Amino acid sequence: MDLSVVWFILMGVLLAGYSILDGFDLGAGILHLTARTDTERRLVINSIGPIWDGNEVWLITFGGAMFAAFPNAYATVFSGFYIALMLVLLTLILRAVSLEFRSKRPSPAWRKFWDGAFFLGSLLATLLFGVATGNILIGIPVDAEGVFTGSFFDLLRPFPILVGLFTVVFAALHGALYLNLKTEGELQERVRGWIKKVLVAAVLVWALVTVYTWVAVPAASGWPWALVVLIALAFAGILPAVSAGRPFVAFLCSSLAIAVLVFLFSFAIYPNLVISNIAPEYNLNIVNAASSPKTLGVMTVIAAVGVPVVLIYTALIYRAFRGKTKLTDHSY
């Protein structure tokens, strides 16, 4: 198999891993303000507190892989989405600062401020990720030299905004399913109520995005529609699993849906990495945007060592912090 294809697949795996892992802690942040008391909000924060930064390793690794394997695409994306990416960076910093600062003072006003900042950072980061995904699907103004010729406001079109809305709603659902796994008692009962409401919204927006994508993205007409049905089945399995007291199964259903969505996204753009809406010949793909074969070969050896390390690290972290969230003197 050509090494450029191998790296396209590996980037898809990294993107799926990030979407599943950081997706639930972004979703928990979106739902954070729905917790009623300070104790409940601390439980929400501490359910993701030990692992959120590890989840973002997947995003950093994805960016590093694109930089090394497909530098031309990396340059175009980071220049075209420069303002959006700086906003993402600011929102992720805001989330991190909110987590660390909230517990430093007992003042209700202080904690309320950082609760709002945590919610806002989570919401905006998720929305921006979704809008970027929508723009990649329908294409951005890129000229013959791979230079982005539009502006930030050219990225705010109906389809990308709809994909951004879906990303927010689905992240909230994924986060609620994770909180159902990590909480107990009255908070868990309330989380189950959140799941029912957000699931309805997620399914409705997903159906709308699927139809819109089929119309707006020509490559989507070649989707393996059995996988679209698989997403529907994953959604359908969530409520029965929650009702049966099997929160991990419900969370796996959501994770499966995310993994399949990432696959369909990759399928729709392959072999392209950046699609130009000016002319198809200006697209950046895994051939004209790739590094040299020698570079890809060296990177493949490094990945063969590094990726298992990331997987082992992730597994150990989740094993160490398994079980229900408990508040201690050292909690946030």
Q: What does the block give as tokens for 108?
A: 């209700």
Predicted local confidence at residue 1, as pLDDT:
62
Domains delineated in the chain: 3-320 (1.20.1630.10)
Identity of the residue numbered 304: A
Residue 20, class by beta-carbon neighbours within 10 Å (0-12 exposed, 13-18 middle, 19+ buried)? buried
Long-range CB contacts for residues 89-95, cutoff 8 Å, separation at least 24: 91/120, 91/121, 91/122, 91/124, 91/125, 91/128, 92/56, 92/121, 92/125, 93/121, 94/118, 94/120, 94/121, 95/29, 95/52, 95/121, 95/122, 95/125
Per residue in 265-292, pLDDT (tens digit) is 999 999 999 999 999 999 999 999 999 9
CB proximity list for 6: less than 8 A, separation 6 or greater: 296, 300
Per residue in 38-48, pLDDT (tens digit) is 999 999 999 99
Among residues 61, 43, 327, the alpha carbon closest in space to that of 178 is found at: 43
Residue ranges of the chain with per-residue pLDDT less than 50: none
Predicted local confidence at residue 267, as pLDDT:
93
CA–CA dist 125, 116 (Å, integer): 14
Alpha helices in 81-139 (DSSP H): 82-101, 108-138
CA–CA dist 255, 258 (Å, integer): 5
